[in-house]
Amino acid sequence: MKYLALVLRSLFRSKRRTVLTVLFLAVSVFLVAILQSVLATLEGFANNPNASSRVAVRHKVSITNLLPLRYGDWIRQQPEVEAAMGLQWFGGVYQDPRNFFANFAAEPEAIVTIFKEEIVTYSEAEFRDFLRDRNGCIVGQSLAAKYGWKVGDVVPLKGTIFPMDPRLTVRGIWRSRRQVDEQALYFHHKLLEESVPWMEGRVGAFWVRIKHPDDVPAFIERADRHFSDAVEPTQSETENAFQLNFLKMMGDIATIIHAITMAVLAALLIVTANTMAMAIRERTTEVAVFRAMGFTSWQVLGILLAEGILLALLGGAGGIGLAWLGAGLIKTGLGSAIPWLVDFAIPKETLLLCLHATMGLGFLSTLLPAWRAVRRPIVDGLRAL
């Protein structure tokens, strides 16, 4: 602690240089924190702990190929299966393409069983109304609140994939534990079948709840074996794996984000190393004087490293603060447009990553110039201008 004043004073020896370096670090750490948080949010979406007992059965060729609805009968008869339903991504637009939210055509009888972790609080009477009304739909509370929907309101959707524009009556609104799980709308698959002839008896996938998570692999193996010789063979996978494949359609986001992160960190290392090299080179004589007074090379190295790490930490803390503010803005600003971001936050792991990365940067960028400075003979240092 007795060296702290010395380290702090040295750090602000050139205020402009220090402030600019800290700003550069802060902006870079902000960028890394936001990018990594987006990645964590997407990965979290594909690693939903609620989904451990859910399996998606889809066409082996791709998720755009359809399966016969009758496959559902065989699936429901399997001993591991608690419930199953056909589920079709509808992709309808409400008023404006920017009003994006997930909307599905579903076989609704088992929906509450299959999504019991998401559809947590609901009115049974409302759900009975939904089951009775072929033009009815159910929506999550957050979605309903966003557009001001109430039970009984009509929600017109414009089909983008299917040639139909359903006018759906809100029959029920459910609540969940997380806002992100209240961002969907479900209507009757029968309505889709009646309106789109080529969808009759066909569905995009089956969502299956397995009684016990341990039985998931056995079911997947048996289902895919059973349908392997069919005209429409299946590929069964956990819901998380399915979501991951869905996300991969957007490109290898993780690789891109990691590549950008590495590029930013490399740029940070170079800039910080340059700053520290300049700062230490200017103090060649001072380092020699310290050592002449009796400071060992290790003590001087420690003081210089502390300075570099502190500089990086200041930038890192600034960047984390900016990211925290940015996350709030993203959540309120973009969360309404992109449902995945409705719970956007900087995860603890990302904060730790940024903190460790900045400390590592501070250490690495200072180590080489500091080491060279303390290894220089004292008499050479005293002669340096």
Partner 1 sequence: MDCEPIIRCQSVAKSYWRGSLEIPVLQGLDLEIPSGGYVALMGPSGSGKTTLLNLIAGIDRPTGGRLEVCGTHLNDLDDDDLAAWRATHVGFIFQNYNLVPVLTAYENVELPLLLANLSRRERRERVLEALERVDLLDRLENRPGQLSGGQEQRVAIARAIVTDPDLLVADEPTGALDAKNAEEVMALLENLNGEWGKTILLVTHDPKAAHHARVQIHLEKGVLDRTVEVNR
Q: Which of 231, 249, 250, 379 is the binder for partner 1 (CB under 8 A)?
A: 379
CA distance 158 to 162: 9
Contact between 377 and partner 1 by CB under 8 A: the answer reads yes
Q: How many CA atoms lie within 13 A of 202 on its CB side?
A: 14
Buried b (16+ CB within 10 A) or exposed e, 308-335: bbbbbbbbbbbbbebbeebbeebbeeeb
Report DSSP state, residue 345: -
Please tell me the count of residues contacting partner 1 according to CB under 8 A. Answer: 25
Least distance to partner 1 from the beta carbon of 344, Å? 42
Contact between 13 and partner 1 by CB under 8 A: the answer reads yes
Give every CB contact of residue 329 below 8 A, 6+ residues apart in sequence.
Answer: none
Least distance to partner 1 from the beta carbon of 359, Å? 24
Which is nearer to partner 1, 163 or 377 (by Cβ)?
377
Q: Which stretch binds partner 1 (CB under 8 A): 146-154, 327-335, 350-358, 372-380?
A: 372-380
Least distance to partner 1 from the beta carbon of 291, Å? 7
Closest CA to 29 of 261, 285, 230, 186: 261
Give every CB contact of residue 364 below 8 A, 6+ residues apart in sequence.
Answer: 269, 273
Count of other CB atoms within 10 angstroms of residue 83: 20
Least distance to partner 1 from the beta carbon of 10, Å? 6
Which is nearer to partner 1, 54 or 291 (by Cβ)?
291
What distance lies between CA 236 and its chain's CA centroid? 24
* Residues 289-328: x where in contact with partner 1 by CB under 8 A, - otherwise, as a string: xxxxxxxxxxx-----------------------------
Hey, what amino acid is at 345? A
What is the DSSP pairing of strand 167-174 with strand 154-156? Answer: antiparallel
Least distance to partner 1 from the beta carbon of 6, Å? 7
CB 248 within 8 A of CB 338: no
CA distance 169 to 177: 24
CA distance 154 to 137: 9
Least distance to partner 1 from the beta carbon of 271, Å? 23
Count of other CB atoms within 10 angstroms of residue 191: 20
Least distance to partner 1 from the beta carbon of 345, Å? 40
Which is nearer to partner 1, 5 or 250 (by Cβ)?
5
CA distance 261 to 265: 6
* Residues 249-288: x where in contact with partner 1 by CB under 8 A, - otherwise, as a string: ------------------------------------xx--
Q: Which stretch binds partner 1 (CB under 8 A): 7-15, 186-194, 312-320, 365-373?
A: 7-15
Least distance to partner 1 from the beta carbon of 292, Å? 5
Which is nearer to partner 1, 231 or 385 (by Cβ)?
385
Contact between 3 and partner 1 by CB under 8 A: the answer reads yes
Judged by the rule CB under 8 A, the positions of this chain that interact with partner 1 are: 2-3, 5-6, 9-10, 12-13, 285-286, 289-299, 377-379, 382
